[in-house]
Amino acid sequence: MSLNIIVLAKQVPDTRNVGKDAMKADGTVNRAALAAIFNPEDLNALEQALRLKDKHPGSKVTVLTMGPGRAAEIIREGLYRGADGGYLLTDRAFAGADTLATSYALACAIRKIEQVDIIICGRQAIDGDTAQVGPQVAEKLGFPQITYAEEIIEVNNGKIIVKRRLERGIEVVEGSLPMVVTVNGTAPDCRPRNAKLIQKYKYAKTVTEKQEESEDYTALFDARPYLNLTEWSVNDVDCDVKKVGLAGSPTKVKKIENVVFQVKESKTISGSDFDVEELIKELIANHTIG
């Protein structure tokens, strides 16, 4: 049984490697100082999708991402690893969306894609850590969900069996398609980029990217239609403009503050035998330990 699989992926600033220049003097985030990467758990999700494709020949894996024009990189990254195509949902009207407005836009886009069997995405993105978009998309589409997935064990005859990793154990659940699955970081890493696929797709571009190119690749894109990456705007996916972007977000950011901690006056000691023993004696004497 061949499957139509959508992978939801997000381009995120690499918040795990925050340098000293990550914050501007005024306390706002200096996005330019943070590398834009494929959200790590979305890569785990992509791997689960590609494994399903390996097991079910004829299946199709499509990457759907929402973001600014440069997020087309996420689709190329997916193609390099084995995805079959992708859509970039991009429009100024989507900007400033909270998780609910984001999931509404994604759900509208997914409705444009015919006969979706499984939607797979990372559990959460590292820039927000909310884990909300997957379940919110599922609810908007009226699909059931399996969150915290570590392994999609089997898909057969419209049934899906998934192993979930919870705080204190595991659960194996069975559901029916269509299904939304959100994948944990504990799932296997994504396969690396494939050299042949890089060669094949390195010129893949969206319409906007093509317009920004100084050279004319029209002939190339006509000869190789798979290099055309689809861009969708608000109008292309039949969104209600009032429900997307900042305007469509029920949550509002009231205030953003830099994190400041109370600095203590600390006593610095060396790691010498004498210093360590003196400290331990003191801790025992004042009943902190022992």
Partner 1 sequence: MNNLFVYCEIEDGVIADVSLELLTKGRSLANQLKCKLEAVVAGYRLDGIESQVFPYGADVLHVADDERLYPYASLPHTSLLVKLFEEEKPQIALMGATSIGRDLGPRVSSALGSGLTADCTALEIGDHEEKKEGKVYKNLLYQIRPAFGGNIVATIVNPDCRPQMATVREGVMKKEIVSPDYKGKVNHLDTSGYLSESDFVVKVIERHIEKAKTNIKNASIIVSGGYGMGSKENFDLLFDLASVIGAEVGASRAAVDAGFADHDRQVGQTGVTVRPKLYIACGISGQIQHIAGMQESSMIIAVNNDCNAPINSIADYVITGEVETVIPKMIKYYKKNSK
Binding mask 253-272 for partner 1 (x = CB under 8 A): xxxxxxx-xxxx-xxxxxx-
141/229 with CB nearer partner 1: 141
Residues 6+ apart with CB under 8 A from 129: none
Binding segment for partner 1 (CB under 8 A), chosen from 72-80, 113-121, 130-138, 211-219, is: 130-138
Q: Is 280 in the site for partner 1 (CB under 8 A)?
A: yes
- C-alpha distance from residue 174 to each of 116, 119, 130, 158 (Å): 18, 16, 25, 11
Per-residue buried b or exposed e for 80-104, using 16+ beta carbons within 10 Å of the residue's own CB? bbbbebbbbbbbebbeebbbbbbbb
Of 21, 54, 154, 174, the one binding partner 1 (CB under 8 A) is 174
Instruction: Name the minimum Å distance from CB 120 to partner 1.
Output: 16
The Cα–Cα gap between 283 and 277 comes to 10
Of 113, 130, 208, 230, the one binding partner 1 (CB under 8 A) is 130
In the window 67-106, what residues touch partner 1 (CB under 8 A)?
98-100, 103
CA distance from start to end of the chain = 64
Sequence-ordered strand ranges (E) for 123-187: 145-156, 159-166, 169-176, 179-183
Binding segment for partner 1 (CB under 8 A), chosen from 56-64, 76-84, 125-133, 204-212, is: 125-133
**Consecutive H or E run containing 4:** strand 4-8
Number of residues that bind partner 1 (CB under 8 A): 78
Binding segment for partner 1 (CB under 8 A), chosen from 57-65, 131-139, 202-210, 216-224, is: 131-139
Instruction: Name the minimum Å distance from CB 169 to partner 1.
Output: 4
The Cα–Cα gap between 144 and 124 comes to 18
Q: Is 247 in the site for partner 1 (CB under 8 A)?
A: no
Residues 6+ apart with CB under 8 A from 223: none
Q: Is 161 in the site for partner 1 (CB under 8 A)?
A: yes
124/206 with CB nearer partner 1: 124
198/276 with CB nearer partner 1: 276
Backbone angles phi, psi at 151, to 5 degrees: -155, 130
In DSSP terms, 58 is beta-bridged to none
Instruction: Name the minimum Å distance from CB 49 to partner 1.
Output: 19
65/145 with CB nearer partner 1: 145
The Cα–Cα gap between 128 and 105 comes to 18
3-state secondary structure of 69: helix
Q: Is 36 in the site for partner 1 (CB under 8 A)?
A: no
Binding segment for partner 1 (CB under 8 A), chosen from 67-75, 199-207, 216-224, 276-284, is: 276-284
